[in-house]
Amino acid sequence: MVSVHERSYPVPVGVDAPILEVMASMRAMRRLRPDPVPDELIHRLIEAASWAPSANHQQRYSFVVVTDRDQMARLAVIWQSIVAFYQETFLSVPRTDIEPAAFQRTRDAIDYQAEHFAETPVLIVACYDFGSYPDAVRRRMLRTPGAFRRFGLRRTLTMLLHQGKLTGRSEAASIYPAVQNLLLTARTLGLAANVTTWHLMAEGEVKRVLGIPTSVHTYALIPVGWPIGSFGPVRRHDVEAMVHRDRW
C-alpha cells in the first residue's frame, strides 16, 4: 500500500475518500472563494460534528452558523483587530522552529483571511454549555461520603482545588472532537476550513454580535468555503520525536 505521504496529489475527495488520506491532507486553509456553500452541505458538517462523543453523553454542544453578510461584516471588524494585534505581538519576531518561507506563507494566509473575512461564505462557532450538570454532579458526590474516604484526603483536596479546571477541560473534551469531525467532513466534501481560538481575545464582542448567552462558552471559530488553492500533504514532526514510552 502506498503511504499517504508518498502518493501523488491531487488528493481524493468525496464520501468514499480513504479516511487516512483525508487526515493526511487536511491543511488549515484560510484562502476561500466567496461562492456560497449549499445548506445541505452545512447540514452534513453539523451532523458529522454531532456524531462525536461528549462527557456523560450530555450532547450540550451548539453551533452558530453565520452566513448573513451584515453579520459577517460586523465580525470582520472584530477579527481584523484581533489579527492586527496578534501580528504586532506574537508574530512580530520570526519563529525559529520553522523555515522562513513557511513562516511567511502562514503570515500571508492569515493576512489574506483577515482582509477578506467579510467574504467568508460560512462561519461556524462551536459552543458548549454544561448548564446545571456540574452542580448536579457535586450534589451527587456530597451524598456519597464513603467514596471520599476511599479516594483519600489528599486526592479529594486536589480534586476540589482543581474542580474548575476539570469542568473546563471536560467541556473542551466534549466539543473539540465534534470540531475535528466537522473539519474532516469539510475536507472530504472538498471544502476548505481552518479552526481558530483567537476570537477568545475578544469573545465578549463576538458573543454580543451573535447573541450568544454569557453562560455559553465558545471554543472555536471555523471559517468554511470552497478553497483557493489545493489540498496537499500536511507537514508534521516524526512520530518518534513525539512519543515518550512508559514514562516522560
* C-alpha to C-alpha distance for 163 and 158, rounded to whole angstroms: 8
pLDDT at residue 224 in the model:
98
Q: How confident is the model at residue 216 (pLDDT cuts 50, 70, 90)?
A: very high
Of 10, 13, 15, 124, nearest in space to 75 by CA: 124
Give the pTM. Answer: 0.86
If you search the block for the grid coordinates 462561519, which residue do you land on?
A: 123
Q: How confident is the model at residue 81 (pLDDT cuts 50, 70, 90)?
A: very high
Most confident of 83-87, 97-101, 169-173, 221-225: 221-225
Q: What's the rounded mean pLDDT across residues 116-142?
A: 82
* C-alpha to C-alpha distance for 217 and 212, rounded to whole angstroms: 9
* C-alpha to C-alpha distance for 28 and 194, rounded to whole angstroms: 5
Q: Say if CB 66 and CB 125 are below 8 A apart.
A: yes
Query: Please, which residues bridge with residue 44 across strands?
Result: none
Q: pLDDT tens across 157-215, in order?
A: 887 777 777 778 888 899 999 999 999 999 999 999 999 999 999 999 999 999 999 98
* C-alpha to C-alpha distance for 1 and 128, rounded to whole angstroms: 40
Of 183, 234, 248, 208, nearest in space to 25 by CA: 234
Q: pLDDT tens across 64-79, in order?
A: 999 999 999 999 999 9
Distance of CA 145 to the CA centre of its chain: 39
Angle at 60 between CA 58 and CA 63, to 5 degrees: 150
* C-alpha to C-alpha distance for 80 and 50, rounded to whole angstroms: 30
Distance of CA 81 to the CA centre of its chain: 20
How is the chain split into domains, by residue range? 24-131+167-226
From 3.40.109.10, 3.40.640.10, 3.20.20.70, 3.30.70.1730, which CATH number describes the 24-131+167-226 domain? 3.40.109.10
Distances (CA, A) of 155 to 104, 176, 195: 47, 28, 36
Q: How many CB atoms lie within 10 A of CB 1?
A: 7
